[in-house]
Amino acid sequence: MAAPPKKAFPLRLDPALHAAIERAAASDLRSVNAEVEVLLREALARRGVKLADPAPRKRGRPPKSEGDSQ
């Protein structure tokens, strides 16, 4: 089952801000996009905005189907 699609939109950032987010993302082993999403969720939570937890993403290889041969 595929994860629901995410909303894409252009975002213009100051280069210094992008570099700081990039460093934070690298230290947390995340992409810049994932780090921005985490930071936004944290900021909204501090303001008391409740969001549904994100759907967990499946990781790893998909199971082999019976028709696969190797």
pLDDT in tens, the chain (70 residues): 566 688 899 999 999 999 999 999 999 999 999 999 999 999 999 999 988 887 777 778 878 877 655 5
Taking only Cα atoms into account, the Rg of the chain, rounded to an integer number of angstroms, comes to 17
Q: Which of 57, 52, 70 is nearest to 1 (CA)?
A: 57
- pTM comes to 0.70
Contact present, 55 and 4 (Cβ < 8 Å): yes
